A and B are shown apart, each in its own frame.
Chain A
C-alpha cells in the first residue's frame, strides 16, 4: 500500500493523472505510526459505516492492528463526548495531537487532517476528498511553482520522522510552533532538521534558486541552508530515497 512505484516516469504520471478515486485505499494513522507498520487497511465505505455504539469498541480485541488506536478505535473515540475526561482548556493546549496522517494510494504525498475540525464522518470525508482531488483537478492548495522551461509544477513537501512525505501547510503555523517539529526537508542527499518555526521558515525561504550537486553522507542533525522542492510526479518515486531526479525550482 505504499505509493512508491518502480517504473519509468511516463507510467507513473499516467497513474497519477488516471487516479480512480473510488479505488483508492484510505488509511488513517495516529502521528508516529509509520504506514508500513499498519497491517490493517480500511476501505472508504468501511470507514463510513463504522458504528459509533460504545459497545462496539468496548469489545475491541487485542488481535487488531499492533498500533492500537489506529484505524477503527481512534476515529470512534473521537466521537464519544467528554471522553477521556480532560478539561477543554487542556485539550485546546495540546490541540496539535489531534492531527492524523492520511495516505491515499497512488498519490505522491500524505496529508494531515485535524479530526477536531470536523463535526462528523461526512464532513471529514468531504474534506479529505477536497484534499486529494488536487491530483485530478490540478488545484494545489499552496503556491504553484512552475518551471518556466518545461511547465512542470512543484509543491513543497517534507519527510517527517516516520519517513512519510508530507505536504507542507496542513498543520497551521500557530500549531506548528507549539509542537516539536522535527521533520526533515529533503535536499540533495542532505537532511535538514528544523527544530522550530523560524528554522523551517528559513529553510523554505532558501528553496528558490539554489542549485546543488549531489552530496552524500551528511549529518542528519545538522541544519543546512538548503532544501528543494520535489517535482510532484517524481515524488511518486519515493523508494529508494536517493534524490535521483530531484530538481530545484527555477
Chain B
C-alpha cells in the first residue's frame, strides 16, 4: 500500500463524519486506527453495557461529544423494572477522568442522579450541551448544578424525563453572566417555575432559538417571554388556558404576529380551541407542529388550524383529529414527511378515533411521507396495499392497532398481505412495528424483502418458531429485535446463535423461551450477555430449584465486550 504520512490521513479522516465510516477506517491498519481514534470528536454508544466506559475514554481521549443509551426500548412501556440498570455514573466519572475536552453529552433511557449532574458540571469548564431523553433519577437540584457551573452552556434539553421537583430556584442559578443559551427545554418538569428568572434569562440570551416551556408557565408569562425573544425558531408553549375575551389573549395574538422566525410549535398544555386563533399568524411558516398533548383541541377548529399550515413537514396529533381531519391534512400539507397520531383514549373506545381511511387519505395526499407512527382501532389489507403503493419512501413505519391480534375487519383475514406490501414497496425501510392479527407469513415477507430493516417490533403475532427464524435469517441489517407475547420458543432462539453478534440486542418477553434455551444460548455465545428478568415472588424458590422448563418472563440478549455487568439487581440473572 502506498505510504501516506499521518498528517495526510488525518486530513482525509477529518472529512468523515459518520460513525460507520470512521469505524471502517479504524480497521484498516494500526496506523489508521491511531489516526482515527485521536481525531474522533463524536462518539456514539448504543448500549451502555456493550463496552466499559474506561475503554471508550481511553480510545477517544479528545472526544467532544458523547452519546450513550441505556435501557432497552420496551422500558418506555413499563416492561423493564425500575432498578434494572443503565446508570450514567460510571460514564460521567470515566469522562471526567479521561476526556477533558468533553462539551456535549446526550443520554437516553438512563438513570442519572443529582450527584452525576454536579460532577458533570464541575468537571468540564467548557461544557456546552446536555440532552437527557427519557431519563430518571435526578431532581431540579441537579439542574441547579448545571446552571451554576456550566458557564458557557448553550443547550439544556430535557425530553420526557422523570424529574423530581425540589423547587423552582434552579432557574435562578444561571448567573447573570450566562448569555450563551441557544436551546432550553424544560417542558417535562412538573413543578412551578420562577417566571421572573426565566424572563430575565431569556432577555439576556440573544442567541436563544429554541425554548420549550412547561405547564406552569402562564399565558401572561409567555407573552412577556416572546416579547423578549421574537427570533425564536422553535417554541413549546406553557399552559394555554386562556379565555379569548381576556386582554392576555389579545396580547398573545400580537406577540405571535411578531414571531416571524417561528418554524416549530409544541406544548399547548391545557389548550382549548379558543386559543388557536392566536397562532394563526405563524401557521404559514410552520414546518413542525405538535398538538399531541392537547386533547381538547378537536374537530373543526383543529382542521382549520392545520389547513393554514401548508408548509408542514412534521405533524404530531391525537387521534381525535379523526379520519376527516386527516383528509384535511392530506389536502393541505403536501410537504408532510412525518406523521404521528397518538391515542387519546387509552382505556376505552373513542368515537372519534382514526381508522384505515385516514391513513389512506394521508398516503394519497402526502407522497413525501417517510415516517409514520399511527395508533388506530382497525386496519385493512386493502388500505395497507394502497398506502404502500402511494408512499414508497417510508423509512419508519409503525402501526399500532389498539386491539391486540385484531384481524382485517372487512375480510376477517390476518394483515400479512398488507404488511407484506409495505416491506416490498418501501425499499429503504429501516424501522417497522407490526400489530393486528399476523401469522408466520408476514415474517416470511419481512425476511425476504426488508433488506435494510434495522429495527423490528413485534407484539401478539406469529404462529410458530418459523416466524422468528424467517426474520433472523432474512434481515441482514437487523440491529434491534424486540418481541412480546409471541409463540416463539427455544428452537427459534437457538437456530442461528451467531446472528446475535451482528445485532445490538434482542428482547423477548411473554414468549415461549425456557431457561434451558437461554442457558444454551449463553453457553454457546460467550460474547453475548444473556439476561433473564424474573420479577415473580417465587424468584427465591427458583434460585435453588431451577426448573429448566420454566418459561422465561423477560429475556434481554446483547453483544458486549465488557463481560457480565456487575451492577445488576437481584431479579436480573446473567447466565
Residues of B within 8 A of A (CB): 74, 76-79, 134, 160, 162, 188, 241, 243, 269-270, 272, 292-293, 295-296, 318, 342-351, 375, 377, 400, 402-406, 409, 433, 457, 459-460, 484-485
B346 touching A98 by the CB < 8 A rule? yes
Chain A, residue nearest B80 (CB): A82
B78 touching A81 by the CB < 8 A rule? yes
Interface centre among A68, A90, A115 (most CB of B within 10 A): A90
A163 within 8 A of B: no
Alpha-carbon distance A91/B77, docked complex (angstroms): 10
Interface centre among A69, A73, A115 (most CB of B within 10 A): A69
Stretch from A38-46, A139-147, A176-184, A186-194 that touches the partner:
A176-184
B77 touching A30 by the CB < 8 A rule? no
B351 touching A91 by the CB < 8 A rule? no
Query: Are A84 and B402 also in contact (CB < 8 A) when A32-B351, A100-B347 are?
Result: yes
A97 touching B78 by the CB < 8 A rule? no
Binary interface encoding of chain A residues 10-34 relative to chain B, with 1 for a CB under 8 A from any of its CBs, else 0: 0000000000000000000111110
On chain B, the residues within 8 Å of A213 by CB distance are: none
CB distance from B198 to the nearest CB of A (A): 21
Binary interface encoding of chain A residues 26-63 relative to chain B, with 1 for a CB under 8 A from any of its CBs, else 0: 00011111000000000000000000001001101010
**B347 in complex: contacting residue of A78, A82, A93, CB < 8 Å:** A78
CB distance from A194 to the nearest CB of B (A): 12
A31 touching B348 by the CB < 8 A rule? yes
On chain B, the residues within 8 Å of A3 by CB distance are: none
A90 touching B292 by the CB < 8 A rule? yes
A69 touching B343 by the CB < 8 A rule? no
On chain B, the residues within 8 Å of A69 by CB distance are: 347-349
- Main DSSP-derived SS at the B contact region: loop
Interface centre among A29, A73, A80, A82 (most CB of B within 10 A): A82
Chain A, residue nearest B76 (CB): A87
Q: How many residues of A contact B (CB 8 A)?
A: 43
On chain A, the residues within 8 Å of B243 by CB distance are: 195-196
Known interface pairs A82-B77, A91-B346, A97-B345; 19 further A-B residue pairs with C-beta atoms within 8 A, sorted by A's residue number: A30-B347, A32-B348, A70-B348, A73-B403, A84-B346, A85-B400, A85-B433, A89-B162, A90-B293, A94-B344, A96-B295, A97-B295, A97-B344, A98-B346, A100-B347, A115-B347, A177-B241, A179-B295, A195-B243
Query: Are A58 and B460 also in contact (CB < 8 A) when A82-B78, A86-B77, A115-B347 are?
Result: yes
CB distance from A93 to the nearest CB of B (A): 5
A83 within 8 A of B: yes
**B296 in complex: contacting residue of A62, A80, A180, CB < 8 Å:** A180
A224 within 8 A of B: no
- Give the residues from 190 to 240 in chain A that come closer than 8 angstroms, CB to CB, to chain B: 195-196
A84 touching B345 by the CB < 8 A rule? no
Residues of A within 8 A of B (CB): 29-33, 54, 57-58, 60, 62, 67-70, 73-74, 77-78, 80-91, 93-94, 96-98, 100, 115, 177-180, 195-196
Alpha-carbon distance A241/B149, docked complex (angstroms): 65
On chain A, the residues within 8 Å of B404 by CB distance are: 54, 57-58, 80, 83
Query: Are A84 and B343 also in contact (CB < 8 A) when A93-B293, A178-B270 are?
Result: yes
Chain B, residue nearest A196 (CB): B241
Alpha-carbon distance A68/B241, docked complex (angstroms): 32
CB distance from B247 to the nearest CB of A (A): 16
Chain B, residue nearest A195 (CB): B272
On chain A, the residues within 8 Å of B433 by CB distance are: 85
B188 touching A89 by the CB < 8 A rule? yes
On chain A, the residues within 8 Å of B160 by CB distance are: 87, 89-90
8 nearest CB pairs, A to B:
A30-B348, A69-B349, A82-B77, A180-B296, A58-B405, A89-B160, A68-B349, A82-B79
On chain B, the residues within 8 Å of A100 by CB distance are: 347-348
- 22 A-B pairs with CB atoms under 8 Å apart are A30-B347, A30-B350, A31-B348, A57-B403, A68-B349, A70-B348, A83-B77, A83-B404, A84-B400, A84-B402, A85-B76, A85-B459, A86-B346, A87-B76, A88-B78, A90-B160, A93-B293, A97-B344, A97-B347, A178-B269, A178-B270, A196-B243
Query: Are A177 and B270 also in contact (CB < 8 A) when A58-B405, A82-B77, A82-B484 are?
Result: yes
CB distance from B107 to the nearest CB of A (A): 16
Alpha-carbon distance A33/B347, docked complex (angstroms): 13
CB distance from B236 to the nearest CB of A (A): 13
On chain A, the residues within 8 Å of B241 by CB distance are: 177, 196
On chain B, the residues within 8 Å of A90 by CB distance are: 160, 292-293, 342
Alpha-carbon distance A86/B74, docked complex (angstroms): 10
Chain B, residue nearest A181 (CB): B296
On chain B, the residues within 8 Å of A83 by CB distance are: 77, 404, 459
B77 touching A85 by the CB < 8 A rule? yes
On chain B, the residues within 8 Å of A86 by CB distance are: 77, 342-343, 346, 375
Chain A, residue nearest B484 (CB): A82
